[in-house]
C-alpha cells in the first residue's frame, strides 16, 4: 500500500514537473544591451511579449506587456517566434534645423523579433534609453482597435505629469503624483511623463514617428502600480463650432486607426538618465524620427518673430499716432520695429480675416497685400495666424487654395491654431499641412497642438509647436511650472512658449493681468535667460516694441540670441528646481540659468571648460540685482574677460535668472 502511494506521488510529481518543463520550454528569453552595456532589455516570450528594463542591473520597469489589437487578431498574444536579427548602428545625423546640436550622434543596438502572422517587434537600446515599435506586413488595410502599452513599476515612483482629456491643449500645469495614487478614473496622463524612480535614475516616456495613427495617453492601473495606454477613437464626422475656431468630433469609429496593413508603427521610447543634465541634452526624438530628403530647403530660415497678440493694445508714445489693435498702421509699426533689430518675421495673430473658417478676405482695417509689400521692403516676412478649420477647408474644396493664395501674395508661413485633439484625423492633418506648406515654401508653427513627435525632422519647415503652458497664460505661467519645461516638454522638440516680458514682478505683486501692459512673473534676468533655454525655430517676442525700445541693453542681447544651436551643454540641473545651460552657435557661447520660487538665493560656480583654445574671451552677463527678490526688474550687467577653465559665480534670487554671451 505504501509502495502504491509512493508510486502515485511520484507519477503526480513527474506530471507536474513535466508540465512545468513544457511551459518553461515554451517560454523564450532574449536580451538586448545598450552599446555601453549599462541599459538592458530582457524579453520573455510566452503567452504574451513581456519585457523588463534595467539600468546598471537595477530593475526600472518590470514585466511590461505589449500587444497590438487588430479587429480579428491580437499581435503579441501567444507569439510564435520565427526569427530574430541583431544590428549595431553608429552614425551621425545632421538635422536641417538644429535645435540642440548641428551633429547628432546616433548609436544603438537593435533587435528585431519576427513572429508568425506577418509582424515584428523592433527594440533599440541606446546609451540613454530604450525604444520599441510594431512592424506589420498585412495585405490591404487593417483596423487597429487598441494598442496595449502596459507599464509596471517595481516600487513607488514619483511622476511629474500633465493631466487632461483627449481634447487637451497640453497647457495644463504639471502635477506631481505618487505612482500608486493614479487611479483609472482620474484624468488621462498626457505625454511626456517624467518618472523619478528614487533609485538615482529618471525615465522620460513619450513617442516618436507618429504617422497615420493617434497619439497615446496613459491611465492608472488601479491596484497594480503602473500605467496603461489609452487612445482616442478615429473621428468619422466633425462639426465646426459657431465661433469659427474649434472643430468638434460628433461621431467616432469603433477603432483607433484604419491604416495600411504593411507599415511601421510609432516608436514608444523611454529616456533613462542618471543625471538631470542628460535630459536637457537628449536628442532621442531626432534619432527616432525619419530624416527624409524633401528637396530644396534653402528657403527655410528659422528666426525671431515680432508678435502682436499679447501686446497689441500696449503701444503708446509720440511715435504711436494710430489706434492700437488690428489695422494696417499698427502692423507697419511692428514691421519698423522688427527691421530696426533685424528680426526676420512678424506674426500677425487672430483678427485680420473676416471668416476664420475660410481666411481669404481681410477685415476693412487690414490691407494685407500692402503689409506684405511693406514687410518685404523692410526685409521682414509675414506669418499669418489661421485656424485648423481654415486650413482643412483647403483639402476639402478644390476651388479654395489657401496655401497657393497666400504664398503668391508673399506670405512666409502660417501659425495654425485650434487642432486641440490627438486622434488619427488630426495627426494626418499635421502631415498634410506640413507637406502642402513645404510645396509652397511656407513655414509652419502648430498652435493649439499636442507635443512634438518628430514631424519637424521629416518636414523641416515645421519650426515650432505650442503644446505648452506658456506666457499666454499670464499669471498662471510661473517659474515653478516652467522649470519643468526644459526637462520634459522641450526634450520632445521646439516649443512656442513666447518669452520676452520686460515688465516683471514677483508672484505676490502680480495684479491678475489687469494692466494694459504685458506683465509676467519672474525677474528681468529670468525672462532674458528663457531665450537661451527654451528651444523654438520661430521664437516669438511677446512684449511691445515700446518696452524693448526703452530697454536697449536687454534688446541688444535678446535680439542677438540665436534660435538654433551647434552644441548644447547642461552645466547644472535639477528638474523643477534650477538649470544652467551653455549653448554654442559658431564661435560664440550663450549661457542661460533660471530657478524656481525657492526661499533662498541659489549660487553656483560654473567652470568654463567648454571654451576652446587658450585665447581670451569677453563675457557680458545679465544678473539679478540686489533687490530683485522684491523688485523683479532689478538687474545688473557684468562685463569681464575670461578664458578656458575660469570659474564664474552665478547667483539667482527666487524666480530669478542669469544670462550671458561669451565671444
Per-residue pLDDT tens digits for 291-313 = 877 788 999 999 999 999 999 99
Q: What is the pLDDT of residue 54?
A: 98
Q: What is the per-residue pLDDT across 479-512, written as a single tens digit (0 to 9) for each?
A: 999 999 999 999 999 999 999 999 999 999 998 8
Q: How confident is the model at residue 244 (pLDDT cuts 50, 70, 90)?
A: confident
| Residue 109 main-chain phi, psi, to 5 deg | -110, 135
Please tell me the predicted confidence (pLDDT) of residue 4. Answer: 36
What CATH number was assigned to the domain covering residues 501-533+565-663? 2.60.40.1180
Averaged pLDDT for residues 593-622: 96
Position 207 pLDDT exceeds 70: yes
- Asked if the model's pLDDT at residue 12 lies above 60, the reply is no
- Give the HSE-up count for residue 279: Cα atoms under 13 Å, Cβ half-sphere: 34
Tally the C-alpha atoms within 13 A of residue 274's C-alpha that lie toward its C-beta: 7
Question: Which pLDDT band holds residue 400 (cuts at 50, 70, 90)?
Answer: confident
Look at residue 177 in the predicted model and tell me its pLDDT.
Answer: 97
pLDDT at 19: 39
439-474 confidence digits (pLDDT tens): 999 999 999 999 999 999 999 999 999 999 999 999
Q: Cα(66)–Cα(79) distance, rounded to whole angstroms?
A: 11
Question: What is the tens place of the pLDDT at every residue in 54-67?
Answer: 999 999 999 999 99
- pLDDT tens across 376-394, in order? 999 999 999 999 999 998 8
Give pLDDT, residue 134: 99
**What's the rounded Cα separation, in Å, for the pair 567 and 564?**
9
Q: Residue 5: its pLDDT value, please?
A: 39
pTM, entire model: 0.94
pLDDT at 168 over 80: yes
Residue 291: predicted pLDDT: 86
Strand 578-585 relative to strand 588-595, pairing: antiparallel
Give me the helices (H) in 146-239, please.
none
Give the model's confidence band at 242: pLDDT under 50 very low, under 70 low, under 90 confident, else very high. confident
* CA proximity to 49, closest of 19, 72, 69: 69
Rounded mean pLDDT of the chain?
A: 94
* 353 dihedral zone (left: phi>0; alpha: psi -120 to 50; beta): beta
The answer to whether residue 237 is catalytic is: no
Residue range 313-370, pLDDT digits in tens: 999 998 889 999 999 999 999 999 999 999 999 999 999 999 999 999 999 999 999 9
**Has residue 13 got a pLDDT over 90?**
no
Among the options 209, 417, 445, 543, which is catalytic? 417
- What is the share, in percent, of the chain residues with pLDDT greater than 70? 96
Q: Residue 243 has what DSSP assignment?
A: T
Give the domain ranges of the chain. 25-288, 501-533+565-663
- What is the spatial distance between Cα 513 and Cα 313, in angstroms, rounded to a whole number? 13
CATH of 25-288, one of 2.70.98.10, 3.40.50.300, 3.60.21.10, 3.30.9.90: 2.70.98.10
Q: Give the 3-state secondary structure of residue 460.
A: coil
Cα 466 to Cα 314, 340, 422, 448, 459: the distances in Å are: 24, 27, 14, 6, 17
The per-residue pLDDT for range 407-426, each reduced to its tens digit, is: 999 999 999 999 999 999 99
Query: How far apart are the C-alpha atoms of 227 and 221, rounded to whole Å?
Result: 5
Residues 6+ apart with CB under 8 A from 565: 98, 99, 100, 101, 102, 535, 583, 584, 585
Phi/psi zone of residue 118: left (φ > 0), alpha (ψ -120 to 50 degrees), beta? left
Q: How confident is the model at residue 513 (pLDDT cuts 50, 70, 90)?
A: confident
Angle at 403 between CA 401 and CA 405, to 5 degrees: 65
The whole-angstrom separation of Cα 539 and Cα 465 is: 11
Of the residues 114, 212, 472, 567, which is catalytic? 472
pLDDT for the residue numbered 26: 65
Does residue 147 have an active-site annotation?
Answer: no
Averaged over 582-603, what is the pLDDT?
97
Q: Could you tell me if 617 and 640 are in contact, meaning their C-beta atoms sit under 8 angstroms apart? A: no
- Is residue 102 pLDDT above 90, yes or no? yes
pLDDT tens for residues 517-557?
Answer: 999 999 999 999 999 999 999 999 999 999 999 999 999 99
Amino acid at each position: 500500500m505504501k509502495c502504491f502511494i509512493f508510486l502515485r506521488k511520484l507519477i503526480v510529481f513527474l506530471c507536474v514537473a513535466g508540465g512545468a518543463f513544457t511551459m518553461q520550454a515554451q517560454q523564450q528569453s532574449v536580451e538586448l544591451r545598450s552599446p555601453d552595456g549599462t541599459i538592458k532589455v530582457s524579453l520573455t516570450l510566452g503567452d504574451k511579449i513581456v519585457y523588463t528594463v534595467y539600468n546598471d542591473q537595477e530593475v526600472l520597469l518590470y514585466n511590461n506587456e505589449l500587444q497590438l489589437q487588430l479587429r480579428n487578431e491580437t499581435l503579441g498574444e501567444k507569439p510564435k517566434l520565427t526569427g530574430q536579427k541583431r544590428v549595431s548602428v553608429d552614425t551621425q545625423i545632421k538635422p536641417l534645423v538644429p535645435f540642440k546640436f548641428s551633429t547628432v550622434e546616433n548609436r544603438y543596438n537593435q533587435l528585431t523579433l519576427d513572429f508568425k502572422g506577418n509582424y515584428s517587434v523592433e527594440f533599440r537600446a541606446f546609451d540613454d534609453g530604450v525604444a520599441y515599435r510594431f512592424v506589420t506586413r498585412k495585405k490591404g488595410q487593417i483596423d487597429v482597435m487598441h494598442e496595449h502599452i502596459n507599464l509596471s513599476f517595481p516600487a513607488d515612483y514619483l511622476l511629474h505629469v500633465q493631466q487632461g482629456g483627449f481634447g487637451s491643449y497640453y497647457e495644463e500645469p504639471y502635477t506631481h503624483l505618487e505612482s500608486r495614487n493614479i487611479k483609472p478614473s482620474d484624468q488621462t496622463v498626457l505625454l511626456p511623463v517624467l518618472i523619478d524612480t528614487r533609485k538615482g535614475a529618471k525615465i522620460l516616456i513619450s513617442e516618436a514617428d507618429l504617422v497615420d495613427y493617434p497619439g497615446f495617453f496613459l491611465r492608472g492601473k488601479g491596484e497594480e502600480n503602473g500605467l496603461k495606454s489609452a487612445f482616442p477613437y478615429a473621428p468619422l464626422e466633425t462639426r465646426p463650432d459657431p465661433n469659427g475656431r474649434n472643430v468638434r468630433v460628433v461621431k467616432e469609429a469603433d477603432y483607433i486607426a484604419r491604416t495600411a496593413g504593411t507599415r511601421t508603427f510609432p516608436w514608444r521610447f523611454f529616456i533613462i538618465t542618471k543625471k538631470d543634465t542628460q535630459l536637457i541634452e537628449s536628442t532621442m526624438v531626432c534619432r527616432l524620427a525619419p530624416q527624409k530628403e524633401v528637396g530644396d530647403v534653402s528657403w527655410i530660415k528659422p528666426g525671431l518673430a515680432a508678435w502682436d497678440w499679447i501686446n497689441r493694445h500696449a503701444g503708446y508714445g509720440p511715435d504711436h499716432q494710430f489706434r492700437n489693435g488690428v489695422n494696417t498702421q499698427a502692423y507697419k509699426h511692428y514691421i519698423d520695429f522688427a527691421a530696426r533689430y533685424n528680426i526676420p518675421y512678424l506674426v500677425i495673430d487672430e483678427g485680420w480675416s473676416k471668416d476664420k473658417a475660410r481666411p481669404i478676405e481681410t477685415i476693412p482695417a487690414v490691407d494685407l497685400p500692402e503689409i506684405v509689400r511693406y514687410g518685404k521692403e523692410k526685409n521682414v516676412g509675414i506669418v499669418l495666424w489661421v485656424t485648423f478649420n481654415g486650413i482643412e477647408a483647403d483639402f476639402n474644396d478644390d476651388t479654395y487654395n489657401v496655401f497657393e493664395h497666400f504664398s503668391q501674395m508673399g506670405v512666409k508661413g502660417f501659425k495654425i491654431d485650434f487642432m486641440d485633439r490627438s486622434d488619427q484625423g488630426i495627426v494626418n492633418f499635421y502631415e498634410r499641412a506640413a507637406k502642402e506648406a513645404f510645396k509652397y515654401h511656407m513655414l509652419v508653427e502648430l498652435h493649439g497642438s499636442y507635443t512634438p513627435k518628430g514631424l519637424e525632422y521629416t518636414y523641416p519647415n515645421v519650426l515650432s509647436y505650442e503644446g505648452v503652458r506658456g506666457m499666454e497664460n499670464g499669471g498662471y505661467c510661473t517659474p515653478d511650472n516652467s522649470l519643468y519645461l526644459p526637462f520634459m516638454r522641450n526634450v520632445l522638440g521646439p516649443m512656442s512658449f513666447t518669452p520676452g516680458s520686460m515688465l516683471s514682478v514677483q508672484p505676490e505683486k502680480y495684479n491678475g493681468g489687469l494692466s494694459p501692459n504685458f506683465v509676467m512673473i519672474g525677474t528681468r534676468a529670468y525672462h532674458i535667460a528663457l531665450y537661451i533655454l527654451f528651444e523654438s525655430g520661430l521664437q516669438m517676442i511677446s512684449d511691445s516694441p515700446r518696452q524693448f525700445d526703452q530697454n536697449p541693453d536687454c534688446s541688444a542681447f535678446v535680439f542677438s540670441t540665436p534660435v538654433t544651436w551647434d552644441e548644447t551643454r547642461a552645466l547644472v540641473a535639477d528638474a523643477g528646481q534650477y538649470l544652467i545651460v551653455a549653448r554654442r552657435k559658431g564661435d560664440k557661447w550663450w549661457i542661460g540659468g533660471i530657478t524656481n520660487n525657492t526661499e533662498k538665493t541659489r549660487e553656483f560656480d560654473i567652470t568654463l571648460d567648454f571654451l576652446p583654445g587658450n585665447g581670451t574671451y569677453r563675457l557680458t552677463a545679465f544678473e539679478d540685482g540686489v533687490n530683485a527678490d522684491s523688485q523683479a526688474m532689478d538687474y545688473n550687467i557684468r562685463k569681464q574677460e575670461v578664458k578656458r577653465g575660469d570659474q564664474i559665480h552665478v547667483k539667482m534670487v527666487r524666480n530669478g535668472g542669469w544670462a550671458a554671451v561669451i565671444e
